[in-house]
Structure 1
Amino acid sequence: MDHVMRVHGLAMKFAEKENADKNIVELAALLHDVDDYKIFGQESARHLTNANRILDQLGADPMTKRAVVNIIQTMGYNKFLEGIRPTTLEGMIVSDADMCDAIGAQGILRTHAYNASKGNPFFDVNLDPIDSHVDANAYRAAKTTHSVQHFFDKLLTIPAILMTGAGREEGALRQDIMVHFLEELFREESAQKWSDHLQNFLKKS
């Protein structure tokens, strides 16, 4: 729930800056994870069973319901890898807010918490950096061996795919936080090959 509320807060801030429909932005932000396939399964995720039910219970008009459902169906990093992206301003805003919550200080904390739950270390200086994944199938099949690799696989690529001015502004701030963190981590660990990898990665992005 913390993630949802952070996305909601960011989305409403972006909506204010971008003069978007705040009602649609708010509904989509609050409902964007209620059919998460990792929790509710692929069937629910495909049909957005919970989102549709909640919108009906709220008495959303057909146009609002279509707009919100369309946003949820077209946002997310996996959808991006498949070439699917929101086309409305409101959709771009909620997508940007969701992606921004994956990076910056929150991104560092979330990545560490997830990998720790899987028994993976945060950083293994003895491992060599590997190239990032380039498509949805490769990304899903990849097994992250330590948290730092995930920065290169996903987190550091996110600012470049944000779609709104407000999102890109926030993304740039969060990117700086991650880069500075990694630079200091690699310095303290005397991890020159990783430091070089980071600089080369940033030059290409």
Structure 2
Amino acid sequence: MRPAFSTAVDVEQALREAADPREKAKIRGRVADDEPVIGVRMGTLFDLAKRATDLPGAELDALFEHPAYEPRLAAFCVLDFRARRKLSDDERAGLARTYLDRHDAISTWDMVDRAAPRVLGMPILAGAVDGGVLDDLARSADPLRRRSAITAPLWFVKKGSDADVERGLAIADSLAEDTHPRVRSAVKIYRAHAAKRQANAG
């Protein structure tokens, strides 16, 4: 078993050691022109992020604040890996708060998709976080926050009641006329998962 990382510098160094110019070219196509990219295959990045799951708070903060795409994605992966553990409601609420407080670090749709269902959707479903936060996100001027609003409820489809799924569909309806492609695609994804669940239940 590979040793765990204890600092953000360790994580960044490992990411840079795993850099591949071919991956950099692929990633460059989905990030802003001025966003630094290291070029790390997603499977490799997830493996490295898993070794960073227990990073101290200040070190995780350093990843969130990093200018490059991969360290910030790794930070959101860390939140997701932490959310997979057996946690108290307070601990889950804390992860959700971190996700929301650090939402400005999200620059691509895949950061949302990696973390939002477990990190935000799970504690909302458990009642540890007020579900009204989804409505707030859905009204945001930031399309990636709006994507969070409809991606987090994917956890409702997986683990919630029929009423919970309907809560997500209400968010989808509120975003039905959204003009941003990353929001429209997320609405389509949620509706497809909800329809599949409803069909299977029938």
TM-score range, shorter chain: 0.3 to 0.5
Q: Provide TM-score, normalisation by structure 2.
A: 0.36
Q: Greater relative contact order (Cα 8 A, min sep 6): structure 1 or 2?
A: 1
Compare CA radii of gyration and give the structure with the larger one. Answer: 1
